[in-house]
Homo-oligomer: A and B are copies of this chain.
Amino acid sequence: MDIQRYLREKKEIVDAALEGYCPDPGGTGFEMDYPPSLHRAIRHSLVDGGKRIRPILSMAAFEAVGGKGDGILPFACGLEMIHTYSLIHDDLPAIDNDDYRRGRPSCHKVFGEAMGILAGDGLLTEAFRVMTTPTSVDPAIVLEIVHEIARASGISGMVGGQVADIESEGKEVDLPTVQYIHTHKTGALILASVRTGVKLGGGNEETLRALTHYGQRIGLAFQIVDDILNVEGKTELLGKRTGSDLFKGKATYPSLLGIDSSRRMAGELMESAIDVLHPFGAGVEPLKEIAKFIILRES
């Protein structure tokens, strides 16, 4: 299969759906549904940008287990909104202080810090509004998925990992701590994306177990590759500055194990992720290719 084409086609679907969830508020005064400036700030960060890995993973998992139709789209978009809010807040001066993101100035550089905070808050809340919009899907399943996504995004997931990440800056940390940071900061939401697709697509317990293994492995691999690219990648491809982890004394796999061991580890995680998919036939082909893409990407 042509993974580049697959990713492009799925990204187009996600981008179009996100556009639909980001309507012009209309008006300029009190008759507006929400302030036009907030609309611009959210669009700046949400629309077009990014590889859409999380939504695409949820769609690929959904289809791998036989899911049909576009019932996955509100969750795919919710996952991307949560990811995007986390980037907006991470880039703030008080946290990572990054001026560039996805090849353009970060949200607060264009709209100011207050708007950066509030656009992030708005996006996070929108994610939950979008995911709980009534559809024909069994409300019990929706609730279970939203609950898992909230857990993966919050204090016991992404936010917890981000706090641990900041607290490790400039310190000597051990491998379990780096692993804690990465599995929570990045891995949790990637795993939740895969599991969302499986649950919504009607996958059974055995499939859920296998794809959970897959999601855990690629979640960690994704962050290791991110860290390697932060050392070796090209700024113009990444759309953000390289070398910043080293400068900030971030706890990363390359800083702890070196580049070669990190690359080897990412490769092993990818193989382990793919291995577990072998019993599942042709439907999981995109998931295998996404795992390879995550390792081999240059941005």
Contacts and interface: CB of A to CB of B under 8 A. Distances in A.
Interface of A: 29-30, 32-35, 37-39, 42, 85-86, 89, 92, 94-95, 112-118, 120-122, 124-126, 128-129, 132-134, 138-140, 142-144, 146-147, 150-151, 153-156, 159-160, 162-164, 166-167, 176-177, 179-180
Contact of A30 (B116, B151, B166, B176): B176
A186 to B, nearest CB: 15
A126 B139 contact: no
B121 A94 contact: no
Contacts of A146: 128, 132, 146
B160 A34 contact: yes
Number of this chain's copies in the assembly equals 2
Contacts of A143: 132, 134, 139, 142-143
Contacts of A35: 160, 163-164, 167
Contact of A129 (B39, B151, B160): B151
A122 B86 CA distance: 11
19 contacts: A30-B177, A35-B167, A39-B155, A92-B117, A94-B114, A94-B116, A95-B114, A95-B117, A114-B166, A115-B163, A121-B124, A125-B153, A125-B154, A128-B128, A129-B151, A132-B146, A133-B147, A134-B140, A142-B143
A42 B155 contact: yes
